[in-house]
Structures are given as C-alpha cells and as structure tokens.
Chains A and B, each alone.
Chain A
C-alpha cells in the first residue's frame, strides 16, 4: 500500500501548508487545484446534473432541498464501515446543520468529482482511506455551503454576515430574524462560491468527537427497507445463475441444456469461456435450470494442485534466497555471532471474504452504453474494464451504487471479476432486459479471489543480555496486484502488500526480509480486510513474543525499548496493557497475550484473554483494544470497527480456511467455512487515544493484532506455540 501512503502523505503535506485558511481545491493536488476547484463548485454538480428550481447545490457533495433536507453525496460507499456517517459528520459539523436533516446518498461514478485523493485519480473505497482523504475536503465543502447560506441571509436581511450565527440548522440574527437552510436555499444558490473558507477549531466542534450520533444508514437496516443489490427489482428483469468451472483455469467444452430449457421460467442459456449462465424469471427457476445443465469441462489447462503440496513447495522456496525487500545492516552475519538464536515458521491458508451478501450485480445494456446497480467499491476500475468488454467509453458505464452487504475487500476487485461476468452474461443474452446476476453461497465460496496463502520463516538473534540483534525473514505467497490494472502499486519489482508490516517497527540493528512470489498458481487472490497485515502481523508479533520468552523477559517489557523510535506504537501498547491489567495474576488455565500493529496509518494494540478447559478446548473471553487513529471523528464508529475487526479476525483465526484438493475448493458453505457466532464473541473493550493528528483508517486496523494476541495468550496459558492458522478449537 505504499503507493497510497505516499500520495496520502503528499496530501497532508499540502493540506498542512494551508491549514487554518484553506483555498478551495488546494489540498487535492496543488498542480490541478484550479481545475478541481472549478469542477467541485457550481450548480447542478451534487450527484445529478439536473438543476431543479429552488435547490441549493453549493458543491458536488451537498444538496439542500426547500423542505430543509440536506442531501449529502458520499463519494465513499457504505459496506458497514460507517463512511456515510463519517463523511456526513464532517459536512454537518462545518455547516452547523441539524443532524436530523441529513440524508446521505451514494455518489455516481465520476472520478473528476468523487475521486479518492489517496488513490490518485480513481474513485474507490478501500485501504481504510475514506476518512483520511475526506477529512479536510468534506469539512471545506460544508464550510463553503455555510458561508453561502449566511451570505444569502445577510443580503435578504440587510445585515452584515459577521453578525449572523448558525446553530443546528437555524440561521439567525440578533434582531430576531431566523431562517432554516431550506428557506435560504434558493437565495444561497445565487451566492458566489467563496474563494477561501475558515474551518472550525477543534474546541468549536459540536459533532466531531461526540458519541451520540445515530448512523445515517441505520433506519432502513432495522426495518428491512435498505436497498442492497440483491433487492433490485426492475421491469422485465431476469435473474441469472451461473455454473462456474470447477477448477481454476478450466473452460467450457460443451453444454447440453435441453433439460434446462424445459424448466418453467427459464428464458435462455448463455455460455461464457469458463462458465454457463441460466437466465430465468426468478431465482428459483434459474437455480433449477442451472442444476439441470450437463456441462463437459475442458480441464487441459486446469490447475489440479492441492493445499498440502502447495505448502510443501512454499516451504522449499523459503529455504532459498528471495527478492530482497528490506535490508538494514547485515542480518545473516549478525545471526552467526548471536549469543542465542530463535527460529520459527508460520503458515496461513487462503481465506474467503464470505460477506453476508454473496456477490451479485445488476446490468442493463442501453443504446448509450451500460447501467449497473451494485455495491460499487472501485468505480473507476470497473468503468474502465466494463468499457473494454463492451467496446464503449468508460464514461458510458453508469453506476448506481447501493449498500453492500459486507465486502471486506471483495467488492473492490482489481479485475472487476463479478461485474464483468454479469456484463458478459447480459451482452450474450438474446433479450435486452435488465439482468440480475446472483451467486449462491457456494459460488461465492468457490469462485476465488481469496486472501493469498502465505508461508513465513523467521530467524532472530539475541545478545548475552537478551537484546534483539538480528531479524531475518523469508515470505512466500502470491501477489495481489500482478497482472491487474492496479499493477502500478508494484515497487522495485515486488508487490509491497506481500510484506507490508513484516518486522515492523522494531528497532533491531540488523534486519533483512526476502520475498518469493509464486506465479504458477492460477488461484485468484485479492485484498482481504487488512491485506498483507493479516499474515505479517501474526508472524511478526508471535515471533517477537517468542523472542521475549527466549530472552527471559516479559513480552511488554521486551517490546518497549524496541519501540523507542515509535511513540505512537508505544502509547497504544502501554494503554492496552494498563487497561487489561497486564502483569496481574490469572488463575491456572487462563492466559493473556498482547500484540501491537500499525496498519493504514493507525496504531492498534490488543490484549486477549483466553481460558483453556480441561478437554484442551479454549475460549477467548476478553479483548482489550487501544487505538490511535488521529482525531476520533465518530467514536461510536471507531468502537464498532475495532469490535467488528476483532470479531472478523477471531473468526478467521479460529476456524476459517479455504483448501484445495486436486484443484477443487473443498469448502462450500457456512457448515465447512465456519464464521464466528455470537456464542464465540469475546467481551471487547475499546479505548481510543486522544489525538490531534489527522484521522486515519479504522475499517481494517482492528484486525491484524487479534490473532497474534490470542496465540500469545494461548502460549501464556499452555506453553505451546501455534505456527499454523487457523488455530482450531484446541489450545
């Protein structure tokens, strides 16, 4: 994720230079400031391009109706992570809006207005960047709208703007004059967009940092009316179910669809290179039709490998020198002269995202191009790839972004896989009607794009006093971005997401990391909530714990001097340890473990407490989280993301794995790919550090420390280390 981090650093550098009094547009990109400012400001830009009478659209993110509703156009999609609430908070704060007047909707696809500034010129949500890249932009959009509303009131009332105050959506003057935003909307539309606006100081915040805001997406999610892709109903729409090739790399040889075509409701059968789709009037007819297909597959180029062989090959690779991704000092030599050495190796399976809503997408091909309805996460990439398949301009791909029933990375596919499949089905279909492609749970589980399997081998050296002197790590696993439109994220010939976080941030004089990236495995892989940190954090934090034990030191005491140059790591480590009662005695059979990880510019330490029962099974009882994510814009959302991150990570740590046998995925549904259930959820306590740093991500950073904290707690309880995930149910 270095590409992203670098552009984000640039963004903050520019932003910091103009903090206090910001010029519209400056913080996007100094070179393009003028053009962007012109684009973002002006009527008719807020979502739709139709300007309706009486509306006030100060910029691309805000539309105020005469009935006093404030529509906030969110450039970031909502998959549960709270972006709609977060971005709305920023705008409402600077506008001094009433929270009850806010309605938040998804932006259309248009990177020029809704680009993610951390991704360059791409519209998309991911890498826990939503709040980080929107913090100043949305506040400025809100502040500009407020200036225009105040200006409108000043001219209507014939009073100086400086005498007007705004509170909870009411504009007022000492003379007793009052107006709502809705009442001022039409007049405000005529106000000039301010060239500069002043943002509030933290002590003036009424919403940022407060815990009592209701999520803006909540009402439809408690009464069943929230619209997900699965819920889209269009006139004459057909539902498509797909029979996918049972092996990666296989293709369709021949299809006998005679039985399928006899199924009531089935309209057509469409053959793609590696799949066959059945289109019918409803899901059940399509499924019956799909089950009746007789397909002969061409497996001549199919991958027929098995997980056991794959890990054996990875282990062999780890014995050889790989691509050097980090070299500080001379680790191999330092290991030779160390007083004591520690060795370990860790293996990590493929993981499915398994969002509650299986992948799906609705497509309507039109005379002008193509219209899509789905939980869009990487709009610009999807537009580009769909445009390529249809031979049309990407701008002709219209995206209606809906709530995503979870994603955890899956909906932001770098190859737009499920979207292209839906588009190809619609393209091949004889009927020009809307097509809703729906994957079943089994399709979703077996169709790939997994967190890649990884293998890490580590060696460390300690001196006589037990100080760490050397760290040598070899990492083996597939690259996520190679061969995708996001290949630009590669650095010096390797995928930085394969090693991000490995060995960090410990101040050890000799460090080396090497990487092997197998390219002969066609199992498709993708980012999965916290990406490379899902495995590097486990290897690093379990190994540090093992080094502490070898040095005869307490794991927290051992880490502290190694974090002397990392004050934010140290602060969360200390806070989590303190709140968890680190060092206090626990009864026999119980254990406490700790891990600290920086990911996506946020710092999280977690302490897990486990109980090992007499039969060897264990439970995770309590997890204490300390997080530093800069300014805590929505403490409730942060707490929810940390708690949910703990649950998602624990789910994977305890029981999730995708395995292959003769090339076929062995898991199919929630009985053999087993998500965490309510009875396994520990008590989670979240402590947020007070900070004035720019906000950083919270969607992913709660995940990485959990598994190593649990494994370290199991060691504390039993003296046994865990080198393979998932842990299973035995300590």
Chain B
C-alpha cells in the first residue's frame, strides 16, 4: 500500500485492515505516535489525516490511502502551530512520563488550527479525548494559552 506520511509517499507491505497506528510504528518506524488503548479512548495515537485529528489505532490504512498523514515527527518539522506549542510545553515543563504528550500536542495543534484563541471551556472540550495519567492537564491548559498568544 502507498501512504503519504509527513509529505513523503511510502510503499508499505501491509494488509488493508491494519490500523494506521501499527503501519506507522511497525512499518514506517515512526514511533512518536503511541499505543495506549486500541479503542480510541485515550488519544495517545492522535495523528492528522488531511489536517483532521484522527485516532490512528482504529483507522484502517485502507481509509487513509491518498490522504496526507501527519505525525508528531512531521508536525515538529513543518507546523508552526506545533512548534509554538512545543515551545510553550518546554517553557512550562509540561511532560511528566511523556507517553501521552505526542497525542496531546497533535490534538492541541488541531485545536489552535481551528480556533486560534480558545477559552478554558473550549480547551476542556477539545482536549477531553486525550488522557494523561500523570494529570499534566493544568500545565497543558496554560501552555495551549501561551502558544495561542505567541501565534497571535
């Protein structure tokens, strides 16, 4: 199958029902996108498909052929929004264990792309699909607002 990942076409020898998560991790060797639940419950696997935040663990690769797939590795290079968020993440020492943070940043990137000045309630509702067991939520909220201000 041919997948467009981070601006490059990759030919992968995989079954069409394989979830995008495992195509990325086990075949494209992009391990920044994490496995957390396999049921779209936790958001650790969040990537962008044509700019839309998507749970890679429940998205078969057959559904994303010909679409632009962006992972944390790609967004770190190409997205000004992601970079602003990463700067704010650094400034606020957001991560603890760090395992969910790729997914948090990809969701936050989608949020600020759609809504450059989110309120607390809007952040809460957009980010509620991303679990952080270390409960870094308060710092995430602060960092999203800082990134929004820096992009304004």
Contacts and interface: CB of A to CB of B under 8 A. Distances in A.
Contacts of A179: none
Assign chain B's interface to a size class: 35 or more
Given A233-B31, A284-B18, A440-B38, A651 B135 contact: yes
A679 B125 contact: yes
A224 B73 contact: yes
Contacts of B105: 222
Contact of A644 (B18, B86, B96): B96
B123 interface: yes
A356 B127 contact: no
A159 B18 CA distance: 68
B138 A222 contact: no
Given A640-B96, A678-B141, A648 B86 contact: no
A78 B72 CA distance: 22
A670 B98 contact: no
Contacts of B42: 356, 441, 670
Interface stretch (A399-407, A587-595, A708-716): A399-407
B135 A676 contact: yes
Contacts of A214: 90, 93
B33 to A, nearest CB: 7
B99 A644 contact: no
Nearest to B72: A224
Interface string A342-386: 000000000000111110000000000000000000000000000
Interface stretch (A36-44, A79-87, A560-568, A596-604): A79-87
Interface residues of A, number: 60
**Residue from A225, A282, A640, A675 having most chain B Cβ neighbours under 10 A:** A640
Contacts of A643: 135, 138-139
B131 interface: yes
Contacts of A683: 138
B95 A356 contact: no
A80 B101 CA distance: 12
A220 B101 CA distance: 10
Nearest to B35: A230
A282 B27 contact: yes
Interface in B57-87: 71-73, 76, 86
| Interface class of chain B by DSSP | loop
Given A222-B90, A283-B25, A228 B18 contact: no
Given A224-B76, A356-B36, A675-B131, A79 B90 contact: no
B36 A284 contact: no
Interface string A12-43: 00000000000000000000000000000000
Interface string A210-222: 0000110111111
Contacts of B71: 224
A441 B22 contact: no
B138 A224 contact: no
B44 interface: yes
**Residue from B42, B90, B137 having most chain A Cβ neighbours under 10 A:** B137
A383 to B, nearest CB: 24
A406 B99 contact: yes
Contact of B41 (A82, A284, A670): A670
Contacts of B90: 214, 218-219, 222
A223 interface: yes
A647 B135 CA distance: 5
A406 B99 CA distance: 8
A222 B86 contact: yes
Contacts of A78: 97
Nearest to B96: A80
Contact of B102 (A80, A81, A224, A671): A224
Contacts of B98: 80, 217-218, 220-221, 226, 403, 405
Contacts of B1: none
Contact of B93 (A355, A636, A648, A678): A636
Nearest to B33: A224
Nearest to A232: B31
B15 A264 contact: yes
A698 to B, nearest CB: 12
A470 interface: no
A221 B131 contact: no
B41 A681 contact: no
A647 B31 CA distance: 27
Given A356-B132, A358-B35, A681-B137, 14 more contacts: A79-B97, A80-B98, A214-B93, A223-B73, A284-B18, A405-B97, A406-B133, A640-B96, A640-B136, A670-B39, A670-B131, A677-B129, A678-B124, A678-B141
Chain A to chain B: the 7 pairs with minimum beta-carbon distance, closest first: A224-B32, A647-B135, A405-B99, A221-B98, A80-B97, A80-B96, A224-B72
8 contacts: A80-B95, A82-B96, A233-B29, A284-B26, A356-B42, A357-B34, A358-B36, A679-B124
